[in-house]
Each structure stands twice: as structure tokens, then as C-alpha cells.
A and B are shown apart, each in its own frame.
Chain A
Amino acid sequence: MNWQPEHTITHYAGSIAIALATLALGLAYSAGGQWLGAVIVAVIGLLWWLGDRRQWSQAPTMGFVGFVCAAALGLWVALPPLGMLLGLLLTLAAWDLQHFGQRLRTVQRVDAANRLIRSHLQYLLVVLVVGAVAGVVALGLDIRLPFGWRLLTGAIALFGLAYVIAVLRRTND
């Protein structure tokens, strides 16, 4: 497979997103005095970036799961949620861009590459911006649910998500 300009664009965009996600999560951890956490985040980021450079197929998945766990752990140890949210958004972007890059590399030719990449980036950007706005708004909300309601909400989330995934698995060839 030949290395083409569109691969370079997505490759750099993915690398930048990994760096920014690492920076956001690392800064949030270090601001909260969690130096070990910051180091672990830096190591995960470095490994993710290396995996991306060497084109390990599982690198995006590992990096994504690692950073989402790091963001969740950050919330658990009461680090600022805004930093975690920002880190997660950038992680999502990096994960997406790496998979997009992988998809570009699986083919020998990309037609209308600029249009394809622009369309993808625009859609991703919209999703991230809406996600960021929704996240920030959600952070400002304070809704208290009794235990029963929480259980019910969790059950609905469980069954709803399981149903959607089951349907998708059936139709997603």
C-alpha cells in the first residue's frame, strides 16, 4: 500500500489529538496533585502514539479504553470534571481519526480524498462540539434521584443499549 497525502493528513491529525488528550488528562491529574496518575496518562499516551506510528491494529482500541478509564478514575478521585470531559472529547477524536486513517490505508486508491476527509472532519467536529456543549450544560445540572429511580434508569439504560446493540449486530454486516 502506497503512502499517500491523505494518510499524512489523518496521521498528523490523529497524533495531534493523542497529544492534546494526553495533555488535557495529564494536566488535570497534575493540577489535582495526582502525579502518578499524570505519569500513567503520559505513558498510555506515549504507547498509543507509538502504536499508531507502528500501525498496531489494536493501538486505537487500547489507547481509547485506557484514556476513558483514566478519565473515569480522575472523576473517582475528585479531579475537575471539565478537564476529564475535555480529555475524553479529545480521546474520542483521536480514536476516530486513527480508525479513519486505518480505513484509508486498507485501500489502494482514495477517490475525492479531500472531499471525503473534509466531510469526515466536519461531521466529527460537529459531534464533538455538540458533545462538549451538552457535557458542559449537563455539568451544570443538579438532579437528585432516589435509589429506586436510579435503579430504574440504569435498567432502562442497560436494556435500551443492549437492544440497540443487538439490533446493530444483526444488521451490521
Chain B
Amino acid sequence: MPRFLLLGTLIFALIWTGLLASNGAFLVLAVPPLLYLGAALLDRPDPPKLRVTRTLSTDRVAQQQPVVVKLVIMNDGPQIEQLIARDLVPNGLEASDGATSVLTTLAPGATVKLEYTLKGLRGVYHFASEEVISSDRLGLFARRGVLPAPGHLLVLPEAVQLRRVDIRPRQTRVYSGLIPARQGGPGVEFFGVRSYQPGDPLRRVNARATARQAETLFVNDFEQERVADVGLILDARQRSNVRVGGGPLFEQAVEATAALADVFLKRGNRVGLVMYSAIVDWTFPGYGKLQRERILRALARAKTYDRRDVQGLDLLPMHLFPARSQIVLISPLQAEDLEMLMQLCAREYQLLVISPDPILFEVESLGSSRDVELAGQLARVERMLLLHKLRQLGVTVIEWQLGTPFYQIAYEALTRRHAPQVRRG
């Protein structure tokens, strides 16, 4: 109940009691509250004429990095006896140092400044407005207003620096790079032995092979290294995303995608990103730092969605990926996904699946009970079968137990020294 309403009701009750009881003392009791109400009414603020300007120290920042927000509120109207200004911080951001709200008195033409530091999780944040409440000195009458104070902040996901991730797509691009191209030519890695062609340098002659054959020279051939097309597919289906107290599984997948995009682009490849959910968010393939920025921005706004009519990866826009290129799917995987992954293999895409383990992630949060243990075991068997079928298809599957940092998984499973042997096609 507003204070003035309470006061008015009490005044009215006292007056009527006094009149009905023919007792002037009740009317006397109504005098101080009536004067209080009158005094507040006299001091009542006019509609405030305020302007707000917002500045952010940066509009693009890494996760949990501080951003300084400054707000200047200018009074273009008459004196405001009491002004409460409160900045509306978007959900997901947390204000640390400084103050997001202030109570002050503001003379005509005067300004008040608010300054605070924000930190936040990955996302795109829009600052819309600032709430202002002006009131009289007794605080009985308040005028509430919302002043536009727009601002945008992009909090990019953390991209862990991976030293290298070795992939072997079936087809590479024409430019030289660091991906083995499955073709002989200038390179570092031994590829095979072939007969001498005019122009071959003599230091490449393979003496042993030549000695076995009469009148034929053999030379060592090396594998060409080129850049490749890499398509990153991030599974953003709501049903794949397990959410427990420690946070959603999806965040881990986003960070892994950012790390992979970073390392592939640093090694000169052409990288594209598809975030697959109810909508397909596509970042067109590109090279270099600009593309890294585009992908990180796309990942910053990544959210999980669901569509009831789509269960598996049926709507994956495969025409966006060049034929026989490298595809990296980051997904906890669903049983229905197998069919689409088989189709990808049939179309000769080189498929790498990085699958954060949703079962361990969920079971750990549920506590230990016999039912949970049994359910976990059943789910694990089902998952192992799915992964086994994928491996039989020739898909490289990296199972990621989320207790292990991604860079460690990437080093152990995706560098050539440790990577599983892949057939040369």
C-alpha cells in the first residue's frame, strides 16, 4: 500500500470518528498527518527532465574479464530533492566494484555519475535503460521513470589455446598449409616411393629401392601439406543439453568449439560453423583473425533451442560443407543421430566427433543411490553401443569426460603423435 494512501485512510478515519463521536480531539489527532501530507504535496516533484549517457570501457570482452560502465545523469529540469537512479544490469552480468544505484539530490543543470565494474558469462547483452525515481523530501510522492541508456556488450567464450589438432580430410584446398593432403609432392612427411621423373632433385633418390631394380631410379615422395575446409557443427539442441548445478553441458561444448575454431584458423584453414538447433545458425567459412572473430561472436550468442518435430540431425544443411572436407561435430550425441552420421560418412566427409559425456556429468550431480547407479549403467551401455557403431563407420570419436580439461583431451587424442591411425584414402 502506498504511504500516502495509508496516511489518507488514517486521516479520513480520524475525521469521521471525530464527527460521528462529536469529539474534537479526534479531529486534532488528524491535524499532524494532514500537515505531513500537505507538506509532502507542496514539495512534490515535477516530472523529471533527465538525460543519461552510458559509456563502456569496451564493447567486446572475454568471459569473466572486467568491463567498466560509466553513466552520467544530467538534470535539465528543476531541482530534484531526492533522486534514486538505478542501472538495470542485464541478467548474466554481475556488478562488482562501484555502485549500480545512487540516492542523491540534484540541482538544475547538475550531473551525477555512476561507475561500476561488470563481469559476466558468455553472451550478447543489451543495456536498455536506467530507472529513476524522484521524490519529495519526505519520500511520500514518487515519480518513477525509465530513461533510455542503450549499450551493448559482447562477452566472448573462452578459447583455450590448443597447440595443434591434427586432422586428415579426404580433400584439401589448393593453398599450401599444414594439413596432409594425401598427395605426393613437396612436404615433410614420407609418403611413398616412385620412379624418378626428370627434374627431381638427386638427394631424393632412394638408394635401396634403386639397387633392387635394374636401370630404374626411384625417389622418395613426400606428402603435400595444404590448408583444408573445416566445418564445425555445434549441437545446440535443448534435448542434448544436460543442465546440473555446476552449469550446463552446453557451455563446455561452446568452449571446445571456440578452442577448435581458434586452432584450425591459426593453422591457416578455412573454417565455418553451424550451430544446430531449432534454427540453424551458419557462419560462412573463412580464413584468419576476422573469421575467428565472427565465429567467437556467433558462439557468444549461442543458445539451446528445441523443435518437437526434429529429433536427430536431419536438418543439417550438408550443402554448406564442401564435399570430402573435414567435419567436426561437437555433441553429446543422441541415438537418433546415427543415421545422419552414416549419411555423412557415405558422402565421404571426414568426420570427427567430440562428445562430452552427458551421463557422467548428470550422474555425478544426482548423488549415489542404487537407482541412479543402475540408470547410469544402462545409459552408459547405450552410449557405448552408439560410439562403437560410429567407430565401425570409420568416424573418429573422442569421448570427453568433463573432469578432464579440453586442451588435455585435444593433446592426447588429436595430435598426430597420439591420434588414432586413419586410413589413407
Contacts and interface: CB of A to CB of B under 8 A. Distances in A.
Contacts of B17: 72
A98 to B, nearest CB: 11
Contact of A158 (B16, B28, B104): B16
B5 interface: yes
Contacts, number: 157
Contact of A103 (B112, B114, B139): B139
* Residue in B36, B101, B102, B103 with the greatest tally of chain A CB atoms within 10 Å: B103
A158 B13 CA distance: 10
B196 interface: no
B25 A173 contact: no
B24 A141 contact: yes
A18 B114 CA distance: 35
Given A72-B26, A103-B84, A123-B39, A85 B32 contact: yes
A142 B24 contact: yes
Interface residues of B, number: 55
A39 B21 CA distance: 26
B6 A135 contact: no
Contacts of A171: 143
B5 A75 contact: no
Given A116-B103, A130-B35, A75 B143 contact: no
Interface stretch (A29-37, A47-55, A104-112): A104-112
15 contacts: A64-B6, A75-B26, A88-B29, A88-B33, A92-B32, A92-B36, A96-B138, A108-B101, A124-B138, A126-B39, A132-B32, A135-B31, A135-B32, A150-B19, A164-B41
Interface of A: 61, 64-65, 68, 71-72, 75-76, 81, 84-85, 88-89, 92, 96, 99-100, 103-104, 106-112, 115-116, 119-120, 123-124, 126-128, 130-132, 134-135, 138-139, 141-143, 150-151, 153-154, 157-158, 161, 164-165, 168-169, 171-173
Nearest 6 A-B pairs (CB), nearest first? A131-B32, A108-B99, A111-B104, A109-B99, A173-B144, A81-B25
